[in-house]
Amino acid sequence: MNQSTSNKLALWALASIFFVVGVAEFISVGVLPSIADYFQESTSSAGRIVSFYALGAALGSPFIMAFTSTIKRRTVLLGSLILFILGNLITAMAPNFSILLTGRITTALSHGVMFAIATLVATMLVAPNKQAAAIAFLFSGLTIATALGAPFGTFISDHLGWRLPFFGIAALGLITLLANTKLLPTVITTTTKPATLKEQISLLGNPRLLLVMLTTLIGYGGTFATYTYLSPILQSISHISAESISPILILYGIALAIGNTIGGKVGNENPLQTLLVIFILQALASGSLWFTAPYPLWAILSVLAFGLFAFMNVASLQAYLLILARREVPHAVDTASSLNISAFNGGIVVGASIGGFITDTIGLIHTPWVAAAMVGIAAVLTVALLRQEKRYFISTDNPAHSCQDSMAYEN
């Protein structure tokens, strides 16, 4: 097998991680009613299987990455897959709700670690000018999971019980573990030497990296301020039947996948300029739902437009973070990557929380324009990142270099 084919197969193996982790994350929405009934918990209490997972993914991975910095990244990635399988088995066999939450948190701890290492490894398997596309390819697994996770969970739990989906995810995790064990390169070098704990802590004091992470959190959070409440918007405001929601969400997932692929292709040349355009278009698409929600056909079209841009920013955000990390903290690139993955998960928590607050205070219909405002703030932050990048190259007497040049030289 030649090197090119080997690298492509490795990318497929890494993308399978994103798919199985995405299913584990989003399936909880579909099984939540069954779990609430089984353990006699209120819907809001059972909702902790969603919020605790997101918090575990956001807060746990940087610590794991920091304390495993001296261990081979391949070993950490495969170990995290084992932890993922264990977490889903605990969830599936939980005798009470507390043990179930323990299983969800255990699963979540592996989430950010796997995403951070996988995206970093993916950029090393392709040419410098295809790194954003490689990241987008990995996230395509997540977009498919986003579309299928909740409907799949609902169907299985309604007919065969809520435990079976988690046993199924554990089985998929085992297949993914075997695929990555077989297909990933034996030697993966992510940094010239392991970062010291001081170097890793210093990441939290780096204003450039923090600005990227804040942009990620707010921009990605804007997506979930509306996405979390799409079903009630379509049912309560657009008056679309409950039976029609799942097909619409599947179409939304297809739009996500298309947008994610486009984002990877257009984000290769200059991630920041691409990101600015995407955020502007995403804000417009999000805001349009505020106007179109009362009209079913137009509401569906707005949802599809919203889906097209919702994940389009992911590849550019992660690609630029890796560019900046290689420049600013070359010995802690993997930890920086995990922090930005945490920012993505933090965005889910923040976006869903803000959307919930808006729903409870001024009404469900207002979540789209609030989401648009969040994405608009992310666009303003992207302008600040562009100015920061320009100052960097002027100060280093390389004004002609672009982000892509930086990626090529520093990889």
Residues 138 and 253 in one domain: no
* pLDDT score, position 288: 94
171 plus 300 within the same structural domain: no
In sequence order, the 6+-apart residues with CB closer than 8 A to the CB of 346 are 54, 58, 217, 221
Contacts of 243 (CB under 8 A, 6+ apart): none
My answer on whether 180 and 241 are in the same domain is no
Q: Do residues 215 and 357 both lie within one domain?
A: yes
Q: In this structure, are 252 and 106 located in the same domain? A: no
Q: Are residues 120 and 147 in the same domain?
A: yes
Residues 374 and 267 in one domain: yes
Ranges of the chain with pLDDT below 70: 1, 29-30, 43-44, 47, 149-151, 153-154, 187-202, 394-411
Q: Quick one: pLDDT at residue 30?
A: 67
Instruction: Return the closest-CA partner of residue 263 out of 300, 225, 316.
Output: 316
Together in a domain, 181 and 198: no
| First vs last C-alpha separation in the chain | 25
Question: Residues 249, 315, 56, CA angle at the centre, nearest 5°?
Answer: 70
- Tokens 């046993």: give the residue: 167
pLDDT at 148: 72
Q: Are 20 and 152 in contact (CB under 8 A)?
A: no
Asked if residues 306 and 367 have their Cβ atoms less than 8 Å apart, the reply is no
| Residue that finishes a domain, picked among 126, 154, 185 | 185
* CATH number of the domain within which 376 lies: 1.20.1250.20
**Same domain, residue pair 105 and 251:** no
DSSP string, 41-53: --HHHHTHHHHHH
Q: 154 and 294: one domain?
A: no
- Please report the pLDDT score of residue 212 as a whole number: 92
Q: Express each pLDDT in 327-372 by its tens digit.
A: 887 777 777 888 888 888 888 888 888 888 888 888 889 989 999 9
Residue 407 is predicted with a pLDDT of 42
Q: Does the pTM of the predicted model rise above 0.85?
A: no
Residues 353 and 296 in one domain: yes
Q: Are residues 294 and 372 in the same domain?
A: yes
> What pLDDT, on the 0 to 100 scale, is given for residue 200?
65
Domain encompassing residue 39: 1-185
- The pLDDT, as a whole number, for residue 20 is 92
Choosing from 185, 213, 240, the residue where a domain stops is 185
Q: Given the structure tokens 């009209």, which residue do they identify?
A: 295
Q: Which structure tokens are listed for 84?
A: 């993922």
Exposed e or buried b for every residue in 139-150, given b needs 16+ CB within 10 A?
Answer: bbbbbbbbbbbb
Count how many domains the chain has: 2
In order, the DSSP letters of 234-249 are IIIIS---HHHHHHHH
How many Å apart are CA 407 and CA 320, to the nearest integer? 9
DSSP labels for 99-136? HHHHHHHHHHHHHHHHHHHHHHHHHHSS-GGGHHHHHH
Residue ending a domain, choose from 151, 185, 219:
185
